[in-house]
Amino acid sequence: MPRLTMAQALVGFLKNQYVERDGTENSFFAGCFGIFGHGNLAGIGQALQQMPDFRYYQSRNEQAQVHIATGYAKMKNRLQTFACTSSIGPGATNMLTGAATATVNRLPVLLLPGDIFARRNVAPVLQQLESEHAQDISVNDCFKPVSRYWDRISRPEQLLTSLPEAMRVLTSPAETGAVTLALPQDVQTEAYAYPDAFFAKRVWRIPRNRPDQGALREAARWIRASKRPLIVAGGGVIYSAATDTLVRFVERSGIPVGETMAGKGSLAYDHPLSLGAIGATGTLAANQIARDADLVIGIGTRYSDFTTASMTGFQDPKVRFVNINVAGFDAAKHAALGLVGDARVTLDELAEILGDFQVEPSYRQHAAQLHAEWDREVERIYAVRLAPLPSQGELIGAVNELGDPRGVMVCAAGSLPGDLHKLWRARHPKQYQLEYGFSCMGFEIAGGLGAKMAEPDREVYVLVGDGSYLMMSSEVVTSLQEGYKLTIVLIDNAGFKSIGALSRSLGQAGFGTRYVYPKDGALPGDDAESTTLPVDLAANAASLGARVIPCHTYADFADALQTARGVECTTVIYIKSDRLDGVPGYDSWWDVPVAEVSESPTVTEARRDWAAHRARERYFF
Q: 214 CB contacts (<8 Å, ≥6 apart)?
A: none
Closest by alpha carbon to 142, among 121, 111, 185? 111
Of 112 and 575, nearer to ligand TPP (C-beta) is 575
Nearest distance from C-beta of residue 498 to ligand TPP, angstroms: 3
Per DSSP (E only), the strands in 81-226 are 81-86, 109-115, 149-152, 178-184, 191-193, 202-205
- Shortest distance, position 595 Cβ to Mg ion, whole Å: 25
* Min dist. Cβ of residue 498 to Mg ion (A): 8
Closest CB 486 distance from ligand TPP, rounded Å: 17
User: Which of the stretches 12-20, 47-55, 438-446, 552-560 binds ligand TPP when contact is defined by CB under 6 A?
Assistant: 438-446
Strand 274-277 vs strand 257-259: parallel, antiparallel, or unpaired?
Answer: parallel
- Of 442 and 467, which has the nearer Cβ to Mg ion? 467
In whole angstroms, the minimum distance from the beta carbon of 395 to Mg ion comes to 13
Q: Is the peptide bond before 124 cis (omega within 30 degrees of 0)?
A: yes
- Residues belonging to the chain: 621
Nearer to ligand TPP by C-beta: 149 or 469?
Answer: 469
Mention every residue, 6+ apart, whose C-beta is less than 8 A from residue 431.
Answer: 265, 407, 408, 409, 424
Residue choice 84, 262, 350, 440 for contact with ligand TPP (CB under 6 A): 440
Contact set with Mg ion (CB under 5 A): 465-467, 493
Q: What is the edge-to-edge ordering of all strands in the sheet holding 24-27?
A: 24-27, 17-21, 202-205
Decide: residue 42, CB within 10 A, 0-12 exposed, 13-18 middle, 19+ buried: middle
Residues 479-498 that bind ligand TPP (CB under 6 A): 493, 496-498
Taking the least distance from each CB to ligand TPP, the nearer of 246 and 396 is 396
- Binding site partner of 167, from ligand TPP, Mg ion, none, Cβ cut-off 5-8 A by kind: none
Bridge partners, 109 (sequence order): 178
Q: Partners of 205 in the beta sheet?
A: 20
Exactly one of 447, 467, 510, 525 binds ligand TPP (CB under 6 A); which one?
Answer: 467
Closest CA to 69 of 78, 144, 60: 78
Q: Which stretch binds ligand TPP (CB under 6 A): 146-154, 466-474, 548-556, 604-612?
A: 466-474
* Residue number with CB closer to Mg ion (260 or 493): 493
Whichever of 284 and 476 has its CB closer to Mg ion, that residue is: 476
Q: Can you tell me which of 40, 226, 400, 439 binds ligand TPP, judged by CB under 6 A?
A: 439
Stretch that binds ligand TPP, among 125-133, 207-215, 231-239, 464-472 (CB under 6 A): 464-472
Radius of gyration from C-alpha coordinates of the chain: 25
DSSP β-bridge partners for residue 582: none
Q: Nearer Cβ to Mg ion, position 152 or 421? A: 421
Query: Rounded to the nearest 5°, which phi and psi values hold at 294?
Result: -100, -10
For residue 325, the SS3 value is strand
- Per CB under 6 A, contacts with ligand TPP among 378-437 are 413-416
Q: C-alpha distances in angstroms, 478 versus 31, 98, 114?
A: 15, 17, 22
Q: What is the 3-state secondary structure (H, E, C) of 442-493?
A: CHHHHHHHHHHHHCCCCCEEEEEEHHHHHHCCCHHHHHHHHCCCCEEEEEEC
The distance of closest approach from Cβ of residue 580 to ligand TPP in the complex, given in angstroms and rounded to an integer, is: 11
Q: How far is the CB of 514 from Mg ion (least distance, A)?
A: 9
Q: Least distance to ligand TPP from the beta carbon of 72, Å?
A: 20
Is the CB of 173 or the CB of 465 nearer to ligand TPP? Answer: 465
Print the binding letters for residues 273-302 with ligand TPP: x by CB under 6 A, - otherwise. Answer: ------------------------------
* Distance from chain centroid for Cα 551: 29
The CA distance from 295 to 348, in Å, is 19
Instruction: Give the Cα separation of 68 and 71 in Å (integer).
Output: 5
**Closer residue to ligand TPP, CB minimum distance, 71 or 465:** 465
> Total binding residues for ligand TPP by CB under 6 A?
17
CA distance 248 to 270: 15
Q: Report which DSSP code applies to 495.
A: B
Q: Which of ligand TPP, Mg ion, none has residue 416 at its interface (CB below 5 to 8 Å by kind)?
A: ligand TPP
**Closest CB 532 distance from Mg ion, rounded Å:** 11
DSSP character for 532? Answer: B
Identify which range of 116-124, 141-149, 460-468, 595-603 contacts ligand TPP by CB under 6 A.
460-468
Q: Which is nearer to ligand TPP, 310 or 493 (CB)?
A: 493
CB nearer to ligand TPP: pick between 335 and 533 = 533
Residue 545 or residue 582: which is nearer to ligand TPP going by CB? 582
CA distances from 601 to 77, 505, 509 (A): 49, 13, 12
Q: Which of 466, 479, 538, 560 binds ligand TPP (CB under 6 A)?
A: 466
Q: How far is the CB of 582 from Mg ion (least distance, A)?
A: 12
Residue type, 333: K
In 3D space, the residue among 82, 77, 16 whose CA is nearest the CA of residue 482 turns out to be 82
| Binder of residue 537, out of Mg ion, ligand TPP, none (CB less than 5 to 8 A by kind) | none
538 binds ligand TPP (CB under 6 A): no
Q: Which of 84, 359, 441, 560 binds ligand TPP (CB under 6 A)?
A: 441
Q: Which of 468, 487, 508, 570 binds ligand TPP (CB under 6 A)?
A: 468
Cβ 160 to ligand TPP, closest distance in Å?
Answer: 38
Q: Based on CB atoms, which residue is closest to Mg ion, 250 or 409?
A: 409
Closest-by-Cβ residue to Mg ion is 465
Residue 149, phi then psi, degrees to nearest 5? -150, 140
CB of 465 to ligand TPP, least distance (A): 3
On whether the CB atoms of residues 496 and 414 are closer than 8 A, the answer is yes
Q: How far is the CB of 282 from ligand TPP (least distance, A)?
A: 19
Beta bridge partners, 490, equal 464, 574
Positions that interact with ligand TPP (CB under 6 A): 413-416, 439-442, 465-468, 493, 496-499
